[in-house]
Amino acid sequence: MSISVVILAAGKGTRMKSSTPKVLHEISGKSMLFHAIDAAKKISDDITVVLYHQAERIQADIESHYKGIHFHMQDVEQFPGTGGAMKGVSVKHTKALILNGDMPLVTMHALESLMQGDADINMSVIKLDNPSGYGRVVILDGKVHEIVEEKDCIPAQKEIQTVNAGVYCVKKDVLDTYIPALNNDNAQEEYYLTDIIKMAVEDGKIVHPVIVDEEEFKGVNSKLDLAHAEEILQRRIKMDLMKAGVTMRLPETIYIDSRATFEGECILENGVSIQGHSHIISSHIKTNSVIEDSYIKNSDVGPMGRIRPDSRLIDTHIGNFVEVKKSTLHGVKAGHLAYIGDASIEEGTNIGAGMITCNYDGKNKYKTVIGKNVFIGSDTQIVAPVNIADDVIVAAGTTVNKDVEKGSLVISRTEMKTVKNFFYKFFNIPNS
Ligand code: UD1
Ligand code: CA
């Protein structure tokens, strides 16, 4: 852990056309900035995030999820630009990796290749057929000479196809020497971080180009970029999971959060969405089911099941059109059309079609506790808070609003009445 990480995230992100700061937009369930922080955490104990636009909101979001991250407020008024972002940043270790908050697809493999060797600066370089928009990297005799921003290029430089991907690994003494020496004498009147390279080269320092993959280093600047990055990350997540033994039917129709985990042999059918920190063990999730932040073990869900946050399903069968929320089901069958919210249900219990836990009275939420081997008939309302003991039969159509003792039958129905030939009288037609 002898490297520091600086994440640049002070840019405005105008092209995102959103009131949410650019770096807080999510990809596969996690904000772009958190993808960068998680990568940084794997390699460093000294992480600084540079902020300016909506700094308070971003800082609060980071602090609610991570401990020990340092923040640096860029003085954008006086020192705009990526070089300005580094002004006043102090790093603990002898080397610093400089990342961007809007590059969620960079892999550990690429970061490791940038941290290798003993050059004064390792910089990421991409070769592009169409280099427009990027800073051009002037390489002479295999050595980086300088980076020229597109707006500062002379026509011949515009033809250069090696471009700066924007991620660097720089020795601390290089930063300490050249960051204070930057000026804004360029087309954009900004302080360019890239200018430290020219100065370092002039002083005989070694700048090493590391060729990286364009796809990984694409910055996300618009909602279109965001969707594109999502597709790439989803493909990666699903590929890794299939390699690890998860079966997927039509994987391109499946969505899986980057924070979800799987164990054992799992099957995901088409159209399934696995969201949040879900943990799925040896289970079968059928067509078009949605799982959010839940634990599912030795169970099957769907088709068209919905398991909402904080649910735990163990040895359980959930059929179509069943919604479960914040409930623990252990050895339960709920085959069709039910709402199970704020409940705990034990082994051997069968939930009939149309059972509803009435868990909310308009003000507060209440718990339903159902014991073992309970048979709940169809079209029943379980009005919480309520406790149904083991070995109970709840007759179809019953409203349960009091606790039920072990071994009982509960039934609440108005008596059925039959009026013969009423139909014919009512519609005034002969009874044939
Ligand atoms: C920069 C590079 C360019 C490279 C490109 C790759 C410079 C001068 N140019 O260009 O050579 O090809 O990245 O994507 O560095 N940021 C701040 N403060 C600022 C400005 C930017 O923190 O004042 C942050 C942004 O939030 C972003 C990162 O720095 O995370 C890069 O900023 P961006 O505006 O995308 O850099 P470019 O000028 O496009
Ligand atoms: Ca950019």
Q: Which atom of ligand 1 is nearest to the CA of 50?
A: 22
Q: Which pLDDT score, from 0 to 100, does residue 143 have? A: 83
Q: Determine the structural domain holding residue 352 and report its residue range.
A: 223-410
Q: Are residues 164 and 100 in the same domain?
A: yes
The whole-model pTM stands at: 0.93
30 Cα to the center of ligand 1, angstroms: 22
Q: Are residues 50 and 195 in the same domain?
A: yes
Q: Are residues 323 and 352 in the same domain?
A: yes
Q: Are residues 248 and 299 in the same domain?
A: yes
Asked, for residue 347, whether it belongs to a domain, the answer is yes
Asked, for residue 429, whether it belongs to a domain, the answer is no
315 Cα to the center of ligand 1, angstroms: 51
Which of these is catalytic: 53, 70, 145, 336? Answer: 336
- List residues bridging with 127 in a β-sheet: 162
Asked, for residue 371, whether it belongs to a domain, the answer is yes
47 Cα to the center of ligand 1, angstroms: 19
SS3 at position 247: strand
Q: Which atom of ligand 1 is nearest to the CA of 12?
A: 26
Q: Is 336 a catalytic residue?
A: yes
Q: Are residues 111 and 255 in the same domain?
A: no
- Of 211, 240, 258, the one marking the end of a domain is 211
How far is residue 380's CA from residue 398's CA, in Å, rounded to a whole number? 5
Q: Are residues 307 and 396 in the same domain?
A: yes
Asked, for residue 417, whether it belongs to a domain, the answer is no
The CA-based angle 164-166-167, given to 5 degrees, is 120
1 Cα to the center of ligand 1, angstroms: 26
Q: Are residues 200 and 233 in the same domain?
A: no
- Of 163, 182, 211, the one marking the end of a domain is 211
- Of 211, 237, 269, the one marking the end of a domain is 211
Asked, for residue 73, whether it belongs to a domain, the answer is yes
Question: Which residue has a Cα nearest atom 39 of ligand 1?
Answer: 134
39 in Cβ contact with 106 (< 8 Å)? yes
Domain total for the chain?
2
Q: Which atom of ligand 1 is nearest to the CA of 7?
A: 30
Q: Are residues 381 and 302 in the same domain?
A: yes
Q: Which atom of ligand 1 is nearest to the CA of 100?
A: 30
How far is residue 72's CA from residue 19's CA, in Å, rounded to a whole number? 22
Q: Which pLDDT score, from 0 to 100, does residue 142 have? A: 79
Question: Which residue has a Cα nearest atom 36 of ligand 1?
Answer: 82
Task: Please tell me the number of the ligand nearest to residue 74's CA.
Answer: 1
CATH number at 35 reads 3.90.550.10
Task: Please tell me the number of the ligand nearest to residue 149's CA.
Answer: 1
How far is residue 190's CA from residue 175's CA, in Å, rounded to a whole number? 17
The two counts, helices (H) then strands (E), for the chain are 9, 36
Q: Which pLDDT score, from 0 to 100, does residue 141 have? A: 84
Asked, for residue 16, whether it belongs to a domain, the answer is yes
**Mutate which of 24, 82, 152 to test ligand 1's pocket (most atoms within 8 Å of Cβ)?**
82
Task: Please tell me the number of the ligand nearest to residue 11's CA.
Answer: 1
Q: Are residues 26 and 175 in the same domain?
A: yes
| List of the chain residues with pLDDT < 50 | none
Q: Which pLDDT score, from 0 to 100, does residue 1 have? A: 61
Asked, for residue 216, whether it belongs to a domain, the answer is no
SS3 at position 118: coil
Comparing CA positions, the residue from 168, 1, 4, 169 lying closest to residue 70 is 4
266 in Cβ contact with 285 (< 8 Å)? yes
13 Cα to the center of ligand 2, angstroms: 9
Q: Which atom of ligand 1 is nearest to the CA of 81?
A: 23
166 Cα to the center of ligand 1, angstroms: 7
Asked, for residue 259, whether it belongs to a domain, the answer is yes
Residue 253 C-alpha from the chain's centroid? 17
Q: Are residues 200 and 230 in the same domain?
A: no
For 315, the token pair is: 């040895």
103 in Cβ contact with 214 (< 8 Å)? no
Q: Are residues 192 and 271 in the same domain?
A: no
Q: Are residues 199 and 241 in the same domain?
A: no
With tokens 């908050």, the residue in question is: 101
CATH number at 250 reads 2.160.10.10
**Ligand 1: lining residues by beta carbon, under 6 Å:** 8-11, 50, 74, 76, 80-82, 84-85, 100-102, 134-135, 147, 149, 163-166, 192-194, 219
Residue 34, phi-psi category: left (phi > 0), alpha (psi -120 to 50), beta (remainder):
alpha
